[in-house]
Amino acid sequence: MARCQVDYAGRLTAHLPMATRVLMIKADGSVLVHSDGGSYKPLNWMSPPCTLREGLTDDGAVEWTVTAKATSKGPADTLRILIEEVLHDSAHELGIDPGLQKDGVEKHLQELLAEHPATLAEGLTLVRREFPTAIGPVDLMCRDGAGASVAVEIKRRGDIDGVEQLTRYLELLNRDPLLTGNGAVRGIFAAQEIKPQARVLATDRGIACAVVDYDALRGIDDSEHRLF
């Protein structure tokens, strides 16, 4: 953390007057200049590969010169950081990052709906997850109360592309006599949010739509685990 002035030169020029800011130098070589506002976005930055050299101005002030790798498109971009006063200086080894683990993505929805298929339609039971076809796996293959096959495609946000995908699956599945013994294979398009255009297209093609409440599904799952 330091009082600093920042000047960028490259495809454009930018100037940050002297003020207190957070200067971050990451292990991958990137340099970022943050203010107290603006959320996560830095005021200015230099992406790797780049080099950082520390020197002194004619007045004896500390100046960092960050230079990006030159390209065929023109001269290298340069970030000059003039440091008036260092308020805090620390270094930390973060180690290997395990990566972002998202909650509520399609995989989790699929797992929960596989355990509770009847939340999509009354009497629905699971036959198999990731049911194989020649053009890719169907998320869930189920049977309804009458024994007819039901293909379920699951998306976090349902749009037209998802409906088109399920339509292609249904065309293939309905050619299989092992699946159509109790009637045609029908489809359910399940998502946390279904766009109006996708709902219209699904209805036109005889595909049912099911809006999934992820938190409610998790609540069912947690309560069943508590029972045991």
Residue 160 falls inside a structural domain: yes
Measured over all CA atoms, what is the biggest interatomic distance in the chain, rounded to whole angstroms?
88
Distance separating alpha carbons of residues 43 and 35, to the nearest angstrom: 7
Q: Taking a C-beta distance cutoff of 8 angstroms, is the pair 50, 67 a contact?
A: yes
The closest alpha carbon to 188, from 110, 103, 93, belongs to: 110
Any residues with CB less than 8 A from the CB of 54 and at least 6 apart, and which?
Answer: 62, 63, 64, 65
Residue 53: which domain range? Answer: 2-86
Looking at the structure, do residues 77 and 127 belong to the same domain, yes or no? no
**pLDDT mean over 194-219:** 93
pLDDT band of 216, cuts 50, 70, 90? confident
Residue 57: strand, helix, or coil? coil
Residue 100 falls inside a structural domain: no
- Number of domains the chain is built from: 2
**pLDDT mean over 113-131:** 94
**pLDDT mean over 207-223:** 81
Residue 116 falls inside a structural domain: yes
* Residue that is last in its domain, among 17, 52, 86: 86
Residue 55: strand, helix, or coil? strand
Residue 145 falls inside a structural domain: yes
Could you report the per-residue pLDDT of 52-77, keeping only the tens digit for each? Answer: 999 999 999 999 999 988 776 667 89
pLDDT for 73: 67
- For the entire predicted model, the pTM comes to 0.55
pLDDT for 210: 95
The closest alpha carbon to 160, from 208, 213, 200, belongs to: 200
List Cα–Cα distances, 191 to 38, 109, 209, in angstroms.
Answer: 33, 8, 8
Residue 140 falls inside a structural domain: yes
Q: Taking a C-beta distance cutoff of 8 angstroms, is the pair 203, 97 a contact?
A: no
How many CA atoms are closer than 13 Å to the CA of 118, on its beta-carbon side?
Answer: 5
Residue whose token pair is 């180690």 = 95
**pLDDT mean over 5-17:** 92
pLDDT for 96: 79
Looking at the structure, do residues 24 and 54 belong to the same domain, yes or no? yes
Distance separating alpha carbons of residues 51 and 158, to the nearest angstrom: 45
Indicate the DSSP class of residue 75.
Answer: S
Looking at the structure, do residues 76 and 126 belong to the same domain, yes or no? no
Report residue 68 as tokens: 């990006």
Looking at the structure, do residues 115 and 206 belong to the same domain, yes or no? yes
- 69 against 25, higher pLDDT: 25
Report residue 52 as tokens: 């950082």
Looking at the structure, do residues 201 and 114 belong to the same domain, yes or no? yes
Q: Which residues of 76-104 are buried (b: 16+ CB within 10 A; e: fewer)?
A: ebebbbbbeeeeeeeeeeeeeeeeeeeee
List Cα–Cα distances, 23 to 96, 138, 143, in angstroms.
Answer: 22, 49, 59
**pLDDT mean over 118-129:** 94
Is the confidence at residue 134, as pLDDT, over 50? yes
Looking at the structure, do residues 115 and 12 belong to the same domain, yes or no? no
Helix or strand (DSSP H, E) at 216: helix 214-227
